[in-house]
Amino acid sequence: MPDVKDVVEWASGDGVNRDTLLALALSGAGRVNSNALWCITHLPDCNASWLQEKQSIFIDRLLSATDISRKRMFLQILRHMEYEPDNIRTDFLYFCLSRINAECEPYAVRCFCLYTAAKMCRHYPELIAELSRHIDMLSLQTLSPGLRCARSKVQRSYHAQQYPMTISVIKHMESIKIFLTDVDGTLTDGGMYYTADGDYMKRFNTRDGMGLQLLQRQGVKVGIVTSENTTIVERRAQKLGVDFLVQGKRFGGKLEAVNAICAQLGVDLADVAYIGDDVNCLQLLRAVGHPACPADAMPQVKAVPEIKIMTLNGGQGCVREFANTFIDDSEF
């Protein structure tokens, strides 16, 4: 039974043998097929052009793969390929970006997705900014040594100006004067905890609170705009020291309240950022210059033009993720 080295030597540089090995690797998802794919991941650099020609095939197979080991091998192959501006596949780019912070994915998959996304994003400033947000969110997690190394390498490559613009330049091109957030489903996960006596509690994420405070240190006014009217939210707002607390505003009432705040401060809605998750946020989200929503927001909210959809759910740090878009971390 030949080992990996024997198979690689047999296939390397020989067009017919390589094609035979590839056909075996892609003809199923059994052990033999996966062994063939494993051999392809070990082909030396002289086979790079041949592999590059098969890029679209490997991407298609990756996106349809259900076996995690095959996903990892497809990504291992794709990581070393080149991605030109005119042939970047958005489905593959989305796949890679969405896996960087996915704690349910193995660390190897997340590392390969980070490296590959960096190659695709380097061509466009707006994609560099998007990748920056995903990298920022890694700081909220416990990372493996490999993923920490991948993050550091990508950051160094940007800051060394290997790519057109550094992350920090892109990140701070956007500026705001007011940052506002909804509560239920955004600052919280939307759940409520009831006691036997009928009292209820809400769970907040401390990282969201830190994000609001960091914005205030930069001179940005921050506030809470919610449909509910509760003592819990009032106390949370007092704890955070927000500049504005607007409660009991449903549907059009939110936009009306924010218009009043803007008039008071002499600020245009274009300079306002707001993150919300449900249909009672729609009018305000459509009006502000910087709309955003949690990853688990309602479909109608995700359909708002130019809205930024976070990678984190409500109550899981999505407000901090959005705040990081505007936070200047050069002083840290």
* Torsional class of 309: left (φ above 0), alpha (ψ -120 to 50), beta (otherwise): beta
The Cβ-side half-sphere exposure at 228, using a 13 Å CA radius, reads: 18
Are 148 and 181 within one domain?
no
Domain CATH code at residue 196? 3.40.50.1000
What's the pTM?
Answer: 0.52
- The tens digit of pLDDT for each residue in 13-46 reads 778 999 999 999 999 888 899 999 999 999 988 8
| Domain end residue (candidates: 169, 189, 223) | 169
Q: Which of 145, 169, 193 is the last residue of a domain?
A: 169
pLDDT tens for each residue of 278-296? 999 999 999 998 999 999 9
Identity of residue 304: V
Instruction: Tell me the DSSP string of 86-118.
Output: GG--HHHHHHHHHHHT-TTS-HHHHHHHHHHHH
Contacts of 309 (CB under 8 A, 6+ apart): 292, 293, 295, 297, 302
Total domains in the fold of the chain = 2
Domain hosting residue 201, numbered range: 174-331
Cβ–Cβ contacts within 10 Å for residue 14, how many?
13
Task: Note the pLDDT tens digit of each residue in 153-178.
Answer: 887 776 544 444 344 434 444 578 99
Last residue of a domain, one of 139, 169, 199: 169
Q: Identify the pLDDT of residue 166.
A: 40
| Cβ atoms of 155 and 247 closer than 8 Å | no
- DSSP category for residue 278: S
